[in-house]
Amino acid sequence: MLVDIIAGTRPNFVKIASILHAIEADNEAAKILEVRLVHTGQHYDERMSGDFFEQLRIKQPNINLGVGSGSQAEQTGKIMIGYEQVLLNDPSELCIVVGDVNSTMACAIVAKKFNIPVAHIEGGIRSCDSSMPEEINRIVTDSISDLFFTTSEYANKNLISEGVSTDKIFFVGNTMIDTLLNNIGNLKRPELLDQHSINRNKYFTLTLHRPNNVDDHNNLNEILQIICHCNIDVPVIFPVHPRTEKVLKKLHKIPSNLIITAPLPYLEFIWLVKNSIAVLTDSGGITEETTVLGVPCLTLRETTERPETVDIGTNELVGMDADLIRFNMEKILSGEGKRGSIPERWDGKTGERIIRILKNKVCPAK
């Protein structure tokens, strides 16, 4: 059975690694699923893409659509045109999409119009904030998917409340956490710590890439000032996303304790997170990783599509409230950071569960 697995962005690569490895392991007994890996090219820099393939031992894509950057519509449109051509030449029997990026939605729409079943990994999560392009991608993808592999009971409830029948929903856990747990013994200390004479557990890690936080240089400046001036003696290590890098260049004054670095490869980045006092971020995936690593996390957003990271994990939503950020950073520095536990089924076995279900559901006869 020919299965397309779609990936386009950095977090997609982390999520598909576990599925690909689970299929490879399963195929050792009998080859049932034949994978065609389709890279849309949404992320194309070595440091956003190539490094992840190498470190996570992901096979080279069978097809690269090479779409690159563009506006929301331009990028989505280019991915749709490219993937349609792939399916016209050689249709697959199942399309697996992950997460909530433009590549996810674009390929789900194209596959569905070819009557190819779509499986959505990380289905059902909702921020209920439709100003985020990712929320629109989630809603559209879930409205046409045939199988939903979910990370939490919240996601199950969202899908059920939108009318998805329960026999299509599979609460399997989190493939991003599979990848984390599979690589936890191979993490690499980033060189920049020695370059700046910084010891483990003596710094904060910061990541920012959401358009509403970074596209306006005044907003970005304000966020950096708040975070860095809270504890001026503590370094804040900031691996900068390309989107943010462009705007950062426009800032006149960078706080002295802010250490700017290029995006880090996965094994270095997770080392950095694991050994941080805490992480400040506007990413969703990182709130899952900090939860499993037991590292306090302050999310610089008003909403989250992953409420389990707040209810069960180490995450706190602090928005852009300077007082709240300061209060929480001080609390963490005094050793009273949030301690959580690990959400159900985030146990490193999600990829295996997904493959078992796919084999029973989609190709029971094979």
Give strand ranges (E) for 145-220: 147-150, 169-171, 204-207
CA atoms 293, 295, 300, 302: torsion sign: positive
Of 11, 235, 307, 313, the residue at the interface with ligand UD1 (CB under 6 A) is 11
Q: Which of 242, 260, 357, 361 binds ligand UD1 (CB under 6 A)?
A: 242
Report, in Å, the least distance between residue 12 CB and ligand UD1.
8
Q: Does 276 help bind ligand UD1 (rule: CB under 6 A)?
A: no
Site size for ligand UD1, by CB under 6 A?
A: 20
Inter-residue contact 282 to 168 (CB < 8 Å):
no
Q: How many residues does the chain have?
A: 366
Report the residue from 25, 34, 45, 232 that binds ligand UD1 according to the rule CB under 6 A. 45
Q: Candidates 1, 32, 48, 262: give the one binding ligand UD1 (CB under 6 A).
A: 48
Q: Does 76 bind ligand UD1 (CB under 6 A)?
A: no
Start-to-end CA distance of the chain, whole Å, equals 9
The angle that helices 350-361 and 175-183 make with each other, rounded to 10 degrees, is 140
Considering only residues 18, 42, 158, 291, which one is a binding residue for ligand UD1 as defined by CB under 6 A? Answer: 42
- Which span sits near ligand UD1 by CB under 6 A: 221-229, 241-249, 321-329, 342-350? 241-249
Which of 182, 210, 190, 212 lies closest to 289, judged by CA?
Answer: 182
Spot the catalytic one: 43, 120, 209, 241: 209
In degrees, rounded to 5, the angle at the alpha carbon of residue 113 between the alpha carbons of residues 112 and 116 is: 45
- Phi, psi angles (nearest 5°) of residue 54: -70, -50
Q: Active site includes 209?
A: yes
Span from 38-46, 58-66, 123-131, 221-229 in contact with ligand UD1 (CB under 6 A): 38-46
CB of residue 263 to ligand UD1, shortest distance in Å: 8
- The set of residues, in sequence order, having a beta carbon less than 8 Å from that of 64 and lying 6+ positions away, is 38, 39, 40, 41
Catalytic residues: 209
Would you tell me which residues interact with ligand UD1 (CB under 6 A)? Answer: 9-11, 42-45, 48-49, 69, 75, 100-102, 133-134, 209, 241-243
